Amino acid sequence: MQQKIINPQDLAFQLYELHNVEQYLSYDRYSDHSRETLQAALDLALKVAAEEFAPHARLVDEEEPRFENGRVEMRPEVKKALGVLKDTGLMAAGQDYERGGMQLPAAVAQMCVGLLKGANVGTQGYAGLTIAAANLIMVQGSEEQQARFAEPMMAGRFFGTMCLTEPHAGSSLGDLRTRAEPQPDGTYRLFGNKIYISGGDHELSENIIHMVLARVPGAPLGVKGISLFLVPKILVDEDGNLGDRNDVALAGLIHKMGYRGTTSTMLNFGEKHGAVGYLVGEANNGLAAMFHMMNEARIGVGLGSVMLGYTGYLHALEYARERHQGRPIGEKDPGAPQVPLIRHGDIRRMLLAQKAYVEGGLALCLQGAMLVDEKKFATTDDQRNLAAGLLDLLTPVIKSWPSRYCLEANSLAIQVHGGYGYTREYPVEQFYRDNRLNPIHEGTHGIQGIDLLGRKVSTAGGRFYRELMGRLEATIGEARQESRLAESADCLEQAMKAITQATDVINGEKANGDKEKALANATLYLDAFGQVVVGWLWLRQGLKAIAGLAGKGEQTPAFYEGKIKACEYFARYELPGVVSAAELLKALDTTALEIHEDQF
Amino acid sequence: MQQKIINPQDLAFQLYELHNVEQYLSYDRYSDHSRETLQAALDLALKVAAEEFAPHARLVDEEEPRFENGRVEMRPEVKKALGVLKDTGLMAAGQDYERGGMQLPAAVAQMCVGLLKGANVGTQGYAGLTIAAANLIMVQGSEEQQARFAEPMMAGRFFGTMCLTEPHAGSSLGDLRTRAEPQPDGTYRLFGNKIYISGGDHELSENIIHMVLARVPGAPLGVKGISLFLVPKILVDEDGNLGDRNDVALAGLIHKMGYRGTTSTMLNFGEKHGAVGYLVGEANNGLAAMFHMMNEARIGVGLGSVMLGYTGYLHALEYARERHQGRPIGEKDPGAPQVPLIRHGDIRRMLLAQKAYVEGGLALCLQGAMLVDEKKFATTDDQRNLAAGLLDLLTPVIKSWPSRYCLEANSLAIQVHGGYGYTREYPVEQFYRDNRLNPIHEGTHGIQGIDLLGRKVSTAGGRFYRELMGRLEATIGEARQESRLAESADCLEQAMKAITQATDVINGEKANGDKEKALANATLYLDAFGQVVVGWLWLRQGLKAIAGLAGKGEQTPAFYEGKIKACEYFARYELPGVVSAAELLKALDTTALEIHEDQF
């Protein structure tokens, strides 16, 4: 394996055997596609990732973007790589043909992006934000906004940003203060300060299109008074020609622990007479508009986290095979040759844990992407609604589970490398720093936990939660028929029962009124729930591996055996923790609420 | 609290109430000391830490040492701070009066160093290595070596290093190749390459004394053929005058993820005609000589990890009190003022976890330091032997537990800060990067696990292991009498029983012969064992807090209440995981051994 971005067998297994993405080729939208066209797109993305993105990943970490003479300066490799990406057309991989897109299924389109993230998360950031902003305009914007702004973005001529956070409000979006004053011509003038704007300024593209949350005069307080605006860095006339600089000023750069290639900026809107902005969708409906894209954005965060974990795992695996050090336990002869690291039990345990985390995380993110398509294109309303509900339920897990466990995979990759892993002469320490962003942006673990436990598990009277658990039960029943999976099926059943009991108790407490108590351990619930979901995806992988070994698959026997081992690992090492966490959850523990502020 | 290095109440509680360091003032060695003199030393160390070390901690991270014209160049603040430290005499805090030391008890001497680490682990590295190398010479070297080399080190005129690792061997010290050729005058000439030599070259001191592991001609293979040498950077004549440069060359610098202030070097010994070295102790006994210092060195690593976690916790606590963001769960009015972060349940949980980790880790490290003194100065042989055995047993825990859980504390401190925590504009991200070294150096988790489970729990037929468990039982019995601690006592008892059962099963397997199988999950055992030990230290803190609330202590009621809450947190949130880990250990799981190398 020359590239250390993904195991091609695993990618094929997950897409075509586990999730069977080909089933969607029956949808009208994808009818022109075949296994070959999907694979061609993935091969192209992997080639660009390996040849154009990976080689400068360390460089943009070492020489992060600088603020010079009011401009953002960065390494030239970034613009070159993004230019190649633009030329491939992959920036519009999921978009309509008529918009210049490839109309690829969501799982494949996400995966094309994921491969770039695994290769160089910093450079990919500019493309990723552009795709997200363009998607937002495509869904929420007017025809005219789509043509004038989104199409040049999908073609890679304009880049995009998301401007949500303000310095005083952080995650509390309802408190944002940026104001948008209506003008006689129907446009707005924006005034306010935004922070953590990734890709907020640079010289990579002809223009930058900011998607900005702000308030119109008289808007209600809180999240119900937020509107979405499109604010270009450079004004664009009706024919698409670039005009004057808009009143958007770069106030400074933020310096991060990792993810350094993607510049993070502070932007001031309206230092002079206001930044010209265009309302997207309806006034006071901006957060809903933005959240419409949130599922996909959060899958993107989860998948990015997975791919950083995945590349770390492949680097650790290669190192463990090549590096000779120490001798097996019990070898008494100090003159015996040193053995490869992978011969040591503890090294194998760390590699197996990484495999379980990153391949489990990939299965989880692709499950989410499959639901995105089912939600949009399923042929019956019922299927569509069910997919939408399941996707909403799984989104906080997809966002958070990889950003914990694939970060842990990165830590284990360092550990496999020993002292070398801690040095910047090897790449694994950067993956670890880069990945540490993912538990924070697009909603912290704390926020995802409240989303899952406070809302999602009880949506529609708990219908989607029960549907998911029903799917788990079906998989458990099927796996119990296979002697090699019976033990893993039992482990999953115990974990599922434990989380079900905890959910019932907490739902009771929510209904009885002490919501703060009910949600006191929402983050732990999120984690335990995620372990159960990934345990399910591992059991499904185990079933497909058994089928593969019986001749119903395209991969090698060794590959399938590895899947079964990783399934066992997950059941034995990871799932038992769910049972003890569920005890705490069932007890509605309030230790953290009880300690007074002056007792810390 | 202006300094955010330690909570002074906690330091006093731990030293004087929990561990009662004053009991050792009855030893002859400490008879000149009093509570006041101990406190004066700690106050001095804290003042130097806060005023001289902390202010440039970020600077030496941003501008790490550079290799220029064959020299190591670094920020001038480092030399200044170390000069102040030298003038205080704290570098010899634990040494004999007659050697210019302060003859402080080990717990207090370690703590003086710990405060510096919490303030600036990079700059402290130079002093810490010097103290360690000087201690090694004091214990293993000749009178003449002590006077010529160790005394100038304790006075801060010479600095020191430890040269163990070689590029091809890593942790496998038995494979090191540096050779030492005897000369007619009784000295040696050394030839070889060493890597990861912290403080290996710089202009901070008049001289650098390298403690080097090497082989003499005809030495046995493996660890039994390693000798210890003292190799000065600049030769020193019998009167202590500096002479020519020795044949030790700086080959390059290693660039790390964190801990950047302490330069890490590659050194070449004997590029010309051999580096002049002096044998320390007996030939072929070098590893034993080096390991004689290992307990204290490993306590130092553990305490460094604790102090990085501790400063991160205090930063997060201050931020959570001052930063207003969001509203309580259930507050429907978006116009209600935002509340301090600390009002949110999930933030409090993260702060409480940090408190439990860092204060628990501090209790653990100080327990180790107490045993160091008891081992050296106890008045009966039996006490002394018992202390030595307990210290050996606890050392792998002291090394590894903080480097996992206090690193996790650093991660939680980032999470409390949200996006700001990920930026280099705030200090918590640096603590996290700095602390990531600690699970690696001085023996990885994997190595500590094998040390604990493969050797230490069965030393002397398991006598010290049983003694420790007996102490746990006694504490549990005592705590059960206190209504506020009875539940925590039960949790600890269950965890202790679980680990005891696992230990018995594993010892049986070790005795029956499949040592690889017995040790397959040694790292998980290490973790579970550590949780039990820290659970015990938390229960002891709970007992002292109950006593304090009854008027038998010097701290505030709020402080004692916080201790009881943290004890409860540890029992409820941390200890149950031991029970499920023990199930896996009892099953002698070999999942990781079974997966073939080609199945990854």
pLDDT band at A169 (very low <50, low <70, confident <90, very high): confident
pLDDT of B406 above 90:
yes
B281-293, pLDDT tens digit by residue? 999 999 988 887 7
How far apart are the CA of A595 and the nearest CA of chain B, in angstroms? 6
Residue A28 DSSP class: G
Put simply, the answer to whether B257 touches A423 (Cβ < 8 Å) is yes
Cβ contacts of A436 on chain B, cutoff 8 Å: 411, 414, 422, 429, 432
Q: What local confidence, expressed as pLDDT, does residue B70 receive?
A: 82
- Domain layout of chain B by residue ranges: 8-154, 159-283, 293-443, 458-593
Cβ contacts of B330 on chain A, cutoff 8 Å: 515-516
Domain A8-154 classification at class level: mainly alpha
B507-519, pLDDT tens digit by residue? 999 998 799 999 9
A253-290, pLDDT tens digit by residue? 999 999 999 999 999 999 999 999 999 999 999 998 88
Instruction: Give the nearest chain A residue to B445 (CA atoms).
Output: A415
Residue A183 DSSP class: -
Alpha-carbon distance values, B147 to A267, A346, B292 (Å): 62, 44, 20
Q: Which residues 6+ apart lie within 8 Å of A589 measured at CB?
A: A520, A521, B572, B573
Put simply, the answer to whether A600 touches B351 (Cβ < 8 Å) is yes
- Interface residue of B195, B346, B560 to substitute, partner A, most A CBs within 10 Å: B346
- CB contacts < 8 A, A to B, total 261
How far apart are the CA of B325 and the nearest CA of chain A, in angstroms? 6
pLDDT of A513 above 80:
no
Cβ contacts of A437 on chain B, cutoff 8 Å: 422
How far apart are the CA of B540 and the nearest CA of chain A, in angstroms? 18
Are A159-284 and A293-443 the same fold in CATH?
no
Over its C-alpha atoms, chain A yields an Rg (Å, rounded) of 24
- CA torsion sign for B412, B418, B421, B426 is negative
Average pLDDT over residues B424-432: 97
Cβ contacts of A326 on chain B, cutoff 8 Å: 170-172
The length of chain B, given as a count of residues = 600
DSSP secondary structure of A332-369: --TTSPP-BGGGSHHHHHHHHHHHHHHHHHHHHHHHHH
Put simply, the answer to whether A346 touches B257 (Cβ < 8 Å) is no
Around Cβ A20, how many Cβ atoms within 10 Å? Answer: 11
Q: Is B182 helix (H, G, I), strand (E, B) or coil?
A: strand
How far apart are the CA of A164 and the nearest CA of chain B, in angstroms? 13
Find residues 392-451 of chain A whose CB sits inside 8 Å of chain B. Answer: 411, 414-415, 418-419, 421-425, 429, 432-433, 436-437, 439-441, 444-446, 449-450
Q: Residue A19's beta-bridge partner residues?
A: none
Average pLDDT over residues B505-530: 95
- Interface residue of B422, B484, B538, B569 to substitute, partner A, most A CBs within 10 Å: B422
- CA torsion sign for A255, A259, A262, A266 is negative
pLDDT of A1 above 60:
no
Q: What local confidence, expressed as pLDDT, does residue B251 receive?
A: 94
Looking up tokens 């229960």 gives B539
How far apart are the CA of B355 and the nearest CA of chain A, in angstroms? 7
Instruction: Give the nearest chain B residue to A225 (CA atoms).
Output: B334
Amino acid identity, position A346: D
Q: Is A267 helix (H, G, I), strand (E, B) or coil?
A: strand
CA distance B506 to A347: 20
Angle between helices B381-417 and B294-322 (to 10 degrees): 30
Alpha-carbon distance values, B475 to B356, B363, B398, B540 (Å): 18, 15, 20, 7
Put simply, the answer to whether B432 touches A436 (Cβ < 8 Å) is yes
Model ipTM? 0.97
How far apart are the CA of A83 and the nearest CA of chain B, in angstroms? 29
- CA torsion sign for B151, B155, B156, B161 is positive
Q: Residue B324's beta-bridge partner residues?
A: B340
Q: Residue A423's beta-bridge partner residues?
A: B256
CA distance B193 to B205: 23
Q: Per-residue b/e over A261-289, b at no fewer than 16 CB within 10 Å?
A: bbbbbbbbbbeeebbbbbbbbebbbbbeb
A400-426, pLDDT tens digit by residue? 999 999 999 999 999 999 999 999 999
For all residues of chain A together, what is the average pLDDT? 95
Higher pLDDT, A242 or A173: A242
Q: What local confidence, expressed as pLDDT, does residue A541 receive?
A: 98
Task: Note every long-range contact of A325-329, with CB atoms under 8 Å and residues 24 or more positions apart, other chains counting.
Answer: A325/B169, A325/B170, A325/B171, A325/B172, A325/B175, A326/B170, A326/B171, A326/B172, A327/B172, A328/B516, A329/B450, A329/B454, A329/B515, A329/B516, A329/B519
Give me the architecture of the B293-443 domain, per CATH: Up-down Bundle (1.20)
Please indicate if any CB of chain B lies within 8 Å of the CB of A9. Answer: no
- CA torsion sign for A510, A514, A518, A522 is positive
- Interface residue of A175, A226, A346, A426 to substitute, partner B, most B CBs within 10 Å: A346
Give me the architecture of the A159-284 domain, per CATH: Beta Barrel (2.40)
Question: Alpha helix locations (H) across B194-344?
Answer: 286-292, 294-322
Q: Is B32 helix (H, G, I), strand (E, B) or coil?
A: coil
pLDDT of B1 above 60:
no
How far apart are the CA of A41 and the nearest CA of chain B, in angstroms? 26
A55-104, pLDDT tens digit by residue? 999 999 999 999 988 889 999 999 999 999 999 999 889 888 988 889 99
- Nearest 5°: the CA angle A292, A293, A294 is 95
- Nearest 5°: the CA angle A415, B410, B126 is 70
CATH 2.40.110.20 fits B159-283, yes or no: yes
Percent of chain A predicted with pLDDT > 70: 100
Q: Residue B280's beta-bridge partner residues?
A: B228
B52-82, pLDDT tens digit by residue? 999 999 999 999 999 988 889 999 999 999 9
Q: What local confidence, expressed as pLDDT, does residue A22 receive?
A: 97
CA B289 vs. chain centroid, Å, equals 19
Q: What local confidence, expressed as pLDDT, does residue A213 receive?
A: 96
Q: Which of B52, B296, B374, B442 is catalytic?
A: B442
pLDDT of A292 above 80:
no
B212-243, pLDDT tens digit by residue? 999 999 999 999 999 999 999 999 999 999 99
A469-487, pLDDT tens digit by residue? 999 999 999 999 999 999 9
Instruction: Give the nearest chain B residue to A407 (CA atoms).
Output: B411
pLDDT band at A173 (very low <50, low <70, confident <90, very high): confident
User: If we measure between CA atoms, which residue out of B166, B437, B524 comes closest to residue A421?
Assistant: B437
- Nearest 5°: the CA angle A214, A216, A222 is 65
Alpha carbons within 13 angstroms on the beta-carbon side of residue A47 total 10
Please indicate if any CB of chain B lies within 8 Å of the CB of A513. Answer: no
> Is residue B583 annotated as a catalytic residue, yes or no?
no
Residue B172 DSSP class: -
Q: What local confidence, expressed as pLDDT, does residue A578 receive?
A: 97
Q: Contact, A361 vs A438, CB < 8 A?
A: no
Among B222, B589, B597, whose Cβ lies nearest the Cβ of A334? B222
Candidate from A163-172, A392-401, B550-559 with smallest mean pLDDT: A163-172
Beta strand pairing call for B207-214 and B227-232: antiparallel
Q: Which residues 6+ apart lie within 8 Å of A381 measured at CB?
A: none
Q: What local confidence, expressed as pLDDT, does residue B169 receive?
A: 81
Put simply, the answer to whether A174 touches B569 (Cβ < 8 Å) is no
Q: What local confidence, expressed as pLDDT, does residue B587 receive?
A: 96
Q: What local confidence, expressed as pLDDT, does residue A593 receive?
A: 95
Find residues 232-291 of chain A whose CB sits inside 8 Å of chain B. Answer: 254-258, 264
DSSP secondary structure of B42-76: HHHHHHHIIIIIGGGHHHHHHS--EEETTEEE--H
Please indicate if any CB of chain B lies within 8 Å of the CB of A4. Answer: no
Q: Contact, B292 vs B241, CB < 8 A?
A: no
Q: Which of A52, A442, A568, A574 is catalytic?
A: A442
Instruction: Give the nearest chain B residue to A350 (CA atoms).
Output: B592
CA distance A481 to A470: 17
Burial class (CB in 10 A: 0-12, 13-18, 19+), B21: buried
Amino acid identity, position B328: P
Around Cβ A518, how many Cβ atoms within 10 Å? Answer: 22
Q: What local confidence, expressed as pLDDT, does residue B329 receive?
A: 87
Q: Residue A254's beta-bridge partner residues?
A: A264
